[in-house]
Amino acid sequence: MPPLDQFIMFGDSLTQGSYDQSRGFALAAELQAAYIRRMDIINRGFSGYNTDHGMTCIENVIPEPSQANVSFLTIWFGANDCSKDPHWNQWVPIDRFKSNLISIINHSLVKAQSPHIILFTNPPVEETVLLDINKKNGSADEIRRAKDAKEYAEKTKEVGKEYNLPVLDVWTAFMNATGWDGHGALPGSEEAGKNETLADLLHDEGLHLSPRGYKIVFDELLKLMQQNWPDQKPYRMPFVHKVSWEKNMGDSFWDTTG
């Protein structure tokens, strides 16, 4: 049996943590269940990384075509790029953030593989939670800001539009969940006060995703996959390898969505 095609998830801690089921639903774990015996989900998330860091490790992320075939590549950065806290030195100016995304898309190994690419926007943040953590720790460090998260999410969408790539807009999906209509104070901002819905979609430190947040991302990914690649639908692709009794059952037997 030949190796299964790869579905590589490349990004920061939002990707790295997407296999962790210790708190409940996990994006990458469910995605592997959706493509079991169809594609291998490869988690290449790097906690704390920004797009500058991503540029330094991409050659260790994307295999040569002689090693494996990459069918899908998700790129999920921005949460650290938009952080202006000098203590962590993660901030990447927004124009360089955009050029880094473009460089990743155009990297020679990505070009050689020619995968289906999906860009993910960074999610919003909950400033009130971040400020409370600083207060408890006696820290005066600058926190991530809701307006910056919005700007970097918009920049990711800009790249998607320019390169005709589908974008999973995590930021907007979370904003829609809060009921925000685009007017007034931005949910997640200090000005707006704590938004309980948004806080529930994020981990208890106001930055990473909770199981409910990951579930929203997963559901949006299912929609995107079905819209753009109907022959690659999660749960519905035939298994790559079947023995005779499995073949006799027919593909519909293995369609776990019924």
Alpha-carbon gap, residue 120 to 160, rounded angstroms: 9
149 within some domain: yes
Alpha-carbon gap, residue 120 to 71, rounded angstroms: 17
- Report H helices in 106-243: 108-113, 127-137, 146-162, 170-178, 196-201, 211-228
28 within some domain: yes
Domain count, the chain: 1
Q: What is the pLDDT along the chain (258 residues), one digit of tens a residue?
A: 678 999 999 999 999 999 999 999 999 999 999 999 999 999 999 999 999 999 999 999 999 999 999 999 999 999 999 999 888 899 999 999 999 999 999 999 999 999 999 999 999 999 999 999 888 888 777 889 999 999 999 999 999 999 999 999 999 999 999 999 999 999 999 999 999 999 999 999 999 999 999 999 999 999 999 999 999 988 888 888 888 888 888 766 666 554
Alpha-carbon gap, residue 32 to 19, rounded angstroms: 9
23 within some domain: yes
With contact defined as beta carbons under 8 Å apart, do 46 and 57 qualify?
A: yes
Neighbouring C-beta atoms of residue 183, cutoff 10 Å: 5
pTM of the predicted protein model: 0.94
Whichever domain contains 55, its CATH number is 3.40.50.1110
71 within some domain: yes
202 within some domain: no
Alpha-carbon gap, residue 81 to 53, rounded angstroms: 10
Q: Which domain holds residue 103?
A: 5-124+144-178+210-254
199 within some domain: no
